[in-house]
Amino acid sequence: MAEQHWALEPGWLLSPAGRPYLDSIVHKNQRRAFGLLERPALPPALAVPTVTYKLFLAGRSGVGKTALVAWLGGPPPFVPTGIEVTTLFWPAKPCCSGRPVLFQLHLWDCGDGALRKFEHLLPACKEEADAALFLFSFTDRVSFEELPALMGRVLDPGDPHLVRVVVGTKYPFGGVPKVTHGGGIAPSGLSELGITGTENMHTSLHRCIPNTC
């Protein structure tokens, strides 16, 4: 079996060393809500650099973009009709470093209908973005097969710096998923990107932030 290389130390946030960092973002097993100018409070001895990323979510209507953001960061006060930006703090420890970092993730979520209707929304979502999350649903095979077209619609030749992440939602939801894990399905275009399916995020994130779903 091929050796697995991790960028971040798995399980660190739940280890004794990660505990103070977890406590700074969680209260009574729920993520703390931070205001615009607030950030997690850590004792000076545990202060760490903040690394900020802007992530943009794309995917056909109903695939679960807003639900994923709500699951990660707490529900928005209303269903967004335009762009909704949610900020998440996420402490982690890079494997290559002895020092943890505090990720500050800005999740830009925009309804697919609004994105198609108003031309100015997509450039705003992509402006200075670091990554685009392309969502498909395990219960909707078309949402998976449409991913190459979606990427073509969202990405320009001038976007090579934009990291692309494919995220599967609604797995397993009982029954047989209409999209299978790695190796099962690889529509043309996705296979060229080296993508054959995704491990859904929920499993790994749930290990870090208990009781969030």
Ligand X SMILES: Nc1nc2c(ncn2[C@@H]2O[C@H](COP(=O)(O)OP(=O)(O)OP(=O)(O)O)[C@@H](O)[C@H]2O)c(=O)[nH]1
List interacting residues with ligand X (CB under 6 A): 59, 61-67, 111-113, 169-170
- CB-based contacts of 57, cutoff 8 Å, min separation 6: 65, 68, 69, 107, 108, 109, 110, 132, 133, 135
| Chain positions contacting Mg ion, by CB under 5 A | 65-66, 111
Which C-beta is closer to Mg ion: that of 24 or that of 137? 137
Q: Cα dist. 185→113, 133, 196 in Å? A: 27, 19, 6
Supply the minimum distance, in Å, between the C-beta of residue 15 and Mg ion. 35
Closest distance of CB 163 from ligand X, Å: 20
Helix (H, G, I), strand (E, B) or coil at 25: helix
Nearer to ligand X, 44 or 174 (CB): 174
List Cα–Cα distances, 196 to 82, 153, 163, 181, in angstroms.
Answer: 32, 20, 17, 8
Which of 172, 180, 205 has the alpha carbon at shortest distance from 68?
Answer: 205
User: Which residue number has the CB closest to Mg ion?
Assistant: 66
C-beta of 103: minimal distance to Mg ion in Å? Answer: 23
Closer CB to Mg ion, 65 or 126, in the complex: 65
Expressed in angstroms, the distance from the first to the final Cα of the chain is 32
Judged by beta carbon, residue 101 or residue 165, the one nearer ligand X is: 165
Nearest-approach distance from CB 65 to Mg ion, in angstroms: 5
Tell me which of Mg ion, ligand X, none is bound by residue 61, counting a contact when its beta carbon lies within the kind-specific cut-off of 5 to 8 angstroms. Answer: ligand X
Q: Give the single-character DSSP code of 29.
A: T
Q: Give 61 or 191: the residue with its C-beta nearer to ligand X.
A: 61
Q: Which is nearer to ligand X, 113 or 152 (CB)?
A: 113
86 binds, among Mg ion, ligand X, none (CB under 5 to 8 A by kind): none
* Strands, sheet with 83-92, edge to edge from the N-terminal-most edge strand: 83-92, 101-110, 50-58, 131-137, 163-169
198 binds, among ligand X, Mg ion, none (CB under 5 to 8 A by kind): none
Task: Please give the Cα distance from 179 to 174 (Å, whole number).
Answer: 13
Least distance in Å: CB of 140 to Mg ion? 15
What, of ligand X, Mg ion, none, does residue 64 touch, CB below 5 to 8 Å by kind? ligand X
4 Cβ neighbours under 8 A, 6+ residues apart? none
